[in-house]
Structure 1
Amino acid sequence: MLFSKEIVFKLFEAFSIQRWNDLVRPFDLVEMDKTAEKMFLSFIIGKYEEKSGKTINWITLINNAFFELLRRIALCDMKSPVQRIIRSEYPEEYRKLNHWVFDKYRDIITDSAFRDEFAAYLFNPADTADLTLRVLRAAHKYSAIRELDMIRMVNEPFRLIKIDKCLEADIAEFMDMKGVQLLVTRQQPYYFITEIEKLRFQTRWNQTPRVPATTVLGHSYFVAALVFLMARSLGLPAYRLSNNFFAALFHDLPEAVTRDIISPVKQATDHLPEVVKHIEDEIVAQELLPLMDACYREDVLYFIQQEFENRIRVDGTTRCVTSEELNNQYAAPQFYGIDGKLIRAADQIAAFVEADSSIRFGIRSEQLEAGRANILQHYGKGAVVNGFPLDHFFEAFR
Structure 2
Amino acid sequence: MGAAAGGGRAARALRLLLLLVLALAAVEYLFGSILDASPLRTYLYTPLHNATQSTLRTSDKTSQVWPKKLTPSATIENSLKNSSQKVAFSNSTNKNNSSRDISNMTRQNVSEDFSTPLLITKIMEGIKNLVTTEDGELKVSEPSLPLCDEMPSDLGPISVNKTEIELDWVEKRYPEVQVGGYYSPPNCTARHKVAIIVPYRDRQQHLAIFLNHMHPFLMKQQIEYGIFIIEQEGTSDFNRAKLMNVGFVESQKQKPGGWQCFIFHDIDLLPLDSRNLYSCPRQPRHMSASIDKLKFKLPYEDIFGGVSAMTLEQFTKVNGFSNKYWGWGGEDDDMFYRIKKMNYHIARYKMSIARYAMLDHKKSAPNPKRYQLLSQTSKTFQKDGLSTLEYELVRVTRRHLYTHVVTNIDERS
Q: TM-score, normalised by structure 1?
A: 0.24
**Structure with more of its chain in strand, by fraction:** 2
Please say which structure displays the higher CA radius of gyration.
Answer: 2
Q: TM-score, normalised by structure 2?
A: 0.23
**Structure with more of its chain in helix, by fraction:** 1
